Amino acid sequence: MDRAHYNAKVTGKIMITPDLMILHLETDEPREDFEAGQFIVLGLYGFEKRSLNSEMELFPQEEEKLILKPYSIASAIKDTRQLEFYISQVKSGQLSPRLFNLNIDDKLYVGPKMAGIFRLDETPDGTDIVMVATGTGIAPYISFLRSHIVERPESKMVLIQGAAHRWDLGYYSELTFLEQTYANFFYVPTLIDPDDHWHGYRLCIEDLLKKDVLQNEFNITPDSERTRFFITGSPEMVSHVSEWLNDFGYTRHHPDTPGEMYIEEF
């Protein structure tokens, strides 16, 4: 078993639930500077063991194949060697069950470059920012906030996070702390299957937006001149929210055809 291509090691692993974790990696060499919201490729060989609570993979991997998948960076842009990731386990998947089996000091492959156009720095100064996510789609927003919240006091920044249960809200403590610390930041978690102790929203993200929560609570209108939307997570949610925004004249952002709606599907 040749692990010669591995160029990083695990320095921290926080299990949020059995299928959700925050993973800290240290690369052997620093990477180039990156922008908040970008991703990098992680990789493990097919011969690596899968986690104990995973399932049989749909398509068994060749032992010597390096399985590569992109993951959004959750850490701030100031450190290009210590990287944080927020990862959910697809139980029958190829790579994520192998990532979940890693322990401190285990080695893995991290790609050479950060990439992606899901970037806060491409939005005009002064525009309000609405960040919408399901599941681990919140990872790029953690990097946005850790990297830039101090620099954008003139922008309102709202993060709407959809999940099933309270325990699926990784980063809840950090985000509520940021909300108490910065007057321009608002955290709006919404759960579709909460317990009786949950006092927040109990709607799917699409319904929450249609009920005008942004206007009523934060005086933010879906106006493409004044408000930029970032959307990431499940393809179904991304599709519903982008259709809703299309009705307000929003178009999807591409490098060649700039728009006001930034989308990343996981």
CB of 194 to ligand FAD, least distance (A): 21
Q: How far is it, in rounded angstroms, from Cα 36 to Cα 118?
A: 8
Per DSSP, the three-state class of 114 is coil
What does the buried/exposed string (b/e) look like for 117-142 if buried means 16 or more CB atoms within 10 Å of the residue's CB? ebbbeebeeebbbbbbbbbbbbbbbb
Least distance to ligand FAD from the beta carbon of 97, Å? 6
Least CB distance from residue 55 to ligand FAD, whole Å? 10
Interacting residue ranges for ligand FAD, rule: CB under 6 A: 39, 58, 69-72, 85-88, 90, 92-96, 116, 136, 139, 264, 266
Question: Given the complex with ligand FAD, which of 189 and 222 has the nearer CB atom?
Answer: 189
CA atoms within 13 Å, Cβ hemisphere of 33: 3
Q: How far apart are CA 21 and CA 54, in angstroms?
A: 14
Cα–Cα nearest to 223, from 144, 128, 123: 128
Closest approach, Cβ 91 to ligand FAD, in A, equals 8
- What span, in angstroms and rounded, lies between the C-alpha atoms of 5 and 64? 11
Q: Is the CB of 85 or the CB of 128 nearer to ligand FAD?
A: 85
Given a contact cutoff of 8 angstroms between Cβ atoms, the answer to whether 97 and 57 are in contact is: yes
Beta bridge partners of 184: none
Contact 22, 169 (CB under 8 A): no
CB nearer to ligand FAD: give 170 or 222. Answer: 170
Nearer to ligand FAD, 72 or 227 (CB): 72
Residue 200 beta carbon to ligand FAD: minimum distance, rounded to whole angstroms: 23
Report the residue number whose CB is nearest to ligand FAD.
93
Alpha carbon 240 to its chain centroid, in Å, reads 18
CA 73 from chain center: how many Å? 8
- Cβ proximity to ligand FAD: between 52 and 150 the closer is 52
**For residue 151, what are its two tokens?**
């620099």
Q: In whole angstroms, how close is the CB of 125 to ligand FAD at the nearest point?
A: 26
**Residue 198 or 259 having the CB closest to ligand FAD:** 259
What is the distance between the alpha carbons of residues 129 and 226, in angstroms, rounded to a whole number? 9
Task: Report in angstroms how near the CB of residue 46 gets to ligand FAD at its nearest.
Answer: 11
Measured from the CB atom, the residue of 90 and 149 that comes closer to ligand FAD is: 90
